[in-house]
Amino acid sequence: MNCSSHSPSLRRSRIGRRAHAVGFTLVELLVVIAIIGVLVALLLPAVQAAREAARRSQCSNNLKQMALGVHNYISAKRTLPPGAVVTGACCSAYSYSNWAIEILPMIEQQALYAAYDQSMYNDKATSIENLKVTQTIVPAYSCATDDGANQLEKPVAGPGSSLQYRTSSYRGVTGRSDNTQATVWWGAQLAAQSGSLFPLPDTYRGPLHTVGNIPYQAVKPQQITDGLSNTLLIGEKASATTGATAGQQTFWGYSYAGYNKSTMLPQSRMLLTDFERCVQVGGDGGDTPCKGGWGSFHAGGLQFALCDGSVRLISDNIDMNILCEASTIAGAESTNIP
């Protein structure tokens, strides 16, 4: 008998055993799935953290680019750009250019700046070409973590608020204000201080304030006696408000009031990104501090460019008195920004 020969049934049995050996049991498959799930759970936070770090770095670069734009403006004009150019009083004011428009040539947006007519103001009948400019997306003016940026929205109030403007993520630092009473700009002369408005002290003045309806002109570098490295210049204001609170965001090309610049108040609710939550918290000034707030969606804080061109990440839990002192150019405070 030939020992090398095998019956067909025996060969099928061996083949079946070999085929069965290369498969996975249900238990093995479940173990593999569980291991993959654990690895994904471990890696996902790291991936998200890496993405946020990249976004924060991009946002920091935006602030550095804007601060460099301000310094290049200083080299050309010998002053900082005006925070805004406004004529007239309160809600009947005419709003013209602002700091974000003025530095456009310094951040590689020469063509956009050339299309803006400085003699026109925020009014549909006279500034259609300007509206095209202020509806343009400028990459340096939006942070990747700010879902409310680069949208077309209408401001909730002010001249020209029936028009849409492009939202952005950054505001110029105007200075500081007061919690306890309604105020007007520094150095404003009032017929009587016994009424509802009181002038702010000159020491509350900041680097990017309004010009045109107050005695002051744009700030010169030598006027920043508190030190360039101790004075805030531009900060984040991210807001994902929608629906009833849409229009409370920042608008880089809309110069009226606090839509592209803001003062600092000693109220921690100013750093809340949720406008409605800020209003609910309450405090002096009603919803005014919320309209002129600051904040970001970065983990741990928000970023500011300083007058020396550096950028700092500042904790959401910072003492607001420190930010108030750091927002002035000549307050004679001994503030060190952490």
Alpha helices in 122-256 (DSSP H): 128-134
pLDDT per residue as tens digits for the range 225-260: 999 999 999 999 987 655 556 658 899 999 887 889
pLDDT at 268 over 70: yes
Q: What is the pLDDT of residue 224?
A: 97
Question: Mean per-residue pLDDT for 48-74?
Answer: 93
- In whole angstroms, what is the distance from residue 169 CA to residue 199 CA? 29
Task: Determine the 3-state secondary structure of 55 from DSSP.
Answer: helix
The share of the chain scoring above pLDDT 70, in percent, equals 81
pLDDT per residue as tens digits for the range 64-113: 999 999 999 999 999 999 999 988 766 677 889 999 999 999 999 999 99
- In whole angstroms, what is the distance from residue 185 CA to residue 269 CA? 23
Better pLDDT: 264 or 187: 264
Q: What is the pLDDT of residue 6?
A: 52
C-alpha closest to that of 68 among 308, 268, 258: 308
Q: What is the pLDDT of residue 212?
A: 80
Let me know how long the chain is. Answer: 338
- In whole angstroms, what is the distance from residue 333 CA to residue 23 CA? 75
Using the structure block, give the residue that is written with the tokens 């680069």: 150
For residue 159, name the pLDDT band (cuts at 50, 70, 90). confident
Whole-number mean pLDDT of the chain?
Answer: 84
